Amino acid sequence: MAAAAELLRVSRLSKHYDVPGGDPVPVLHEVDLSVAAGEFLAIMGPSGSGKSTFMNLLGCLDAPTAGEYWLQGRNVAGLAPDELAALRNRLIGFVFQGFNLLRRVSAIDNVALPLLYAGIPRAARRARAQVLLDQVGLGSRAAALPNQLSGGQQQRVAIARALACEPALILADEPTGNLDTHTSQEIMGLFTRLNLERGITIALVTHEADVARYARRLVRFVDGRVVHDGEVTP
């Protein structure tokens, strides 16, 4: 079987933040990492280790101080903000610990939001959003507001929204952090199916070892450096 194509690669990726009147604060130090299409990796590390900064760079939400980031063969490290926004919308889906749903907007319109930014007509984006809600088991709750849904249901809406533009990569930052154990297992089962059945690449930040075990690869950060990169122990 042929090896999967490379989806992303970072080379000597570094990030520091400027402090007024002080020295720059280094967060990432010359990180090298390659991820093939269809991988499912967990990213772990203590607070302040740089893992969230790394995820922000992968998601084109921030720019590196130095180094290169190649996504589907394109060096994105030096792209202009509008180019980064277009790339995010087309290739990357985001799932956050706090769900990040618009409170006064229905589930179906939350899911359809990326399609609005992509310029899809209203009828088509609502039809697509309904299909996605059906796929995550919430088709009957399309009209519900976020405060009418449980935490697990809100995260399912967030996952459906992440899938709206058929991304190649889903970045999930502590997606089970606000959920109980049973609901966390359901959400991780959904991520697993998306990875196995659709071939979507998933990179997931977590502090929880039992959540990381759903992945097949573990990358561990300490002090802004990768100290471990290998298979997850079943």
pLDDT in tens, 51-93: 999 999 999 988 899 999 999 988 997 788 888 888 888 899 9
For residue 49, which of 29, 72, 33 has the smallest C-alpha distance? 29
- Apex CA 208: angle with CA 207 and CA 213, to 5°? 125
pLDDT (0 to 100) of residue 222: 96
Tens digits of per-residue pLDDT, 98-144? 889 999 999 999 999 999 988 899 999 999 999 999 999 999 999 99
CA distances from 160 to 157, 209, 219 (A): 5, 25, 26
Model confidence at 234: pLDDT above 80: no
Number of H-type helices and E-type strands within the chain: 7, 10
pLDDT (0 to 100) of residue 24: 85
Model confidence at 233: pLDDT above 90: no
CATH of 6-103+162-231, one of 3.40.50.300, 3.90.660.10, 3.90.226.10, 3.30.465.10: 3.40.50.300
For residue 168, which of 101, 102, 81, 74 has the smallest C-alpha distance? 74
| Mean pLDDT lowest among 20-24, 134-138, 147-151, 229-233 | 20-24
Instruction: Using DSSP, state whether 170 is helix, strand or coil.
Output: strand
pTM of the model: 0.92
35 vs 6: CA distance, rounded Å: 6
